[in-house]
Amino acid sequence: MPTRKPPPTSPHRIPHRIAVIAPSPVSMFNLAIPEMLFEKVEIDGVRGYEVVVCTPEPGPIVTTGGLGLEVPHGLETLAAADTVLVAGTGHRYLPDPRTVEAVRDAAERGLRIASICSGAFVLAEAGLLDGRSATTYWQLTQELKERYPFLDVQGDVLYVQDGQVMTSSGYAAGIDLCLHMIRTDYGAAAANTVARLALVAPVRPGGQTQFTQTPLPPARGTACADTRGWAMRRLDQPLTLTDLARHAGVSVRTLTRRFHAESGVSPLQWLLHQRVERAKELLETTTLPMDQVARACGLGTADSLRQHVVRRTGLTPSGYRVQFSRVGAA
């Protein structure tokens, strides 16, 4: 097993190069996620990422939907990469040995390694998950545990980061993982900007549940979406469940049920997450004193700000600002 190295807190260079490995058959949705998100990152007028899709045998490959896809780049692409991301595949038990070796070599060189959905099986086959926490699509977690008993499978989370290795669960959780990587590299403001451009939810915590038992409401049910937008514009104000329910025009009980179905968390959990995200943006983009940051994001006091930022990031607000501030950046 390669020696663990900390993940990069900023790109090695701009643009940060991401090699996306497409096993065959590959999920086209998995391939679309990195291009959709990473290619939207712009830092001071410069592209933040360069995304290249590669495969063990360049040329036509099959997708899980039966369509053909032309991939002109081979695994030599990993030699110039900063991050390697393995997309999901229908052949999780028989990963191409060339892919396994290339991913293992990349990890030994200290590159950040990530996977979406069943791509975790490739990382596990390469030995990169031994002794680590990891996740995959919830229907595959038991199979991952049985085949690779030396890893700690987190069965009901969106994504997991353990050192230089990141894994995500299925489908749209790959979006959450990529936004987390953008936030790690360029900060919360950049990640949330990309989320808005891509019309997806802001960065969600990796420990959030993968799925809910309650069916999603009908597409025409926009009350919670409108209320989330309303609350986002008022993060500097005290907001209660009653306030949110009143805006949505429903009871507190109904709001809570619908909100959890749409967001995977309770209204107050979601609200706290957004307050902390706003605090992180202010820490990155302003020089406001801590008490003003706390008031502007609705956390009240500098002590409360410190408590929540430390819990979410492992850094004090001042430490977070030192590490991620872009004020005055060239």
pLDDT tens digits for 44-76? 889 999 999 999 999 999 888 878 899 999 999
Least confident residue range of 74-83, 218-227, 272-281: 218-227
With a CB cutoff of 8 Å and minimum separation 6, the contacts of 288 are 282, 296
Give the CA count within 13 Å in the CB-facing half-sphere of 260: 12
Residue 157, pLDDT score: 79
Asked if residue 279 has pLDDT above 90, the reply is yes
Asked if residue 212 has pLDDT above 90, the reply is no
Percentage of the chain beyond pLDDT 70 is: 88
Evaluate whether 97 touches 59 at the Cβ level (below 8 Å).
no
Asked if residue 211 has pLDDT above 50, the reply is no
With a CB cutoff of 8 Å and minimum separation 6, the contacts of 56 are 23, 74, 75, 96, 98, 99, 102
Residue 12, pLDDT score: 52
How far apart CA 128 and CA 102 sit, in angstroms, is 12
Backbone angles phi, psi at 217, to 5 degrees: -70, 165
How far apart CA 266 and CA 212 sit, in angstroms, is 12
pLDDT top residue among 244 and 6:
244
pLDDT top residue among 23 and 262:
23
Q: How many residues does the chain have?
A: 330
| Tokens read off for 37 | 């998100």
The arithmetic mean of pLDDT across residues 130-136, rounded, is 93
Residue 326, pLDDT score: 72
Residue 218 has a CB neighbour count (10 Å cut-off) of 7
Least confident residue range of 64-68, 120-124, 274-278: 64-68
Residue 189, pLDDT score: 82
Residue 9, pLDDT score: 42
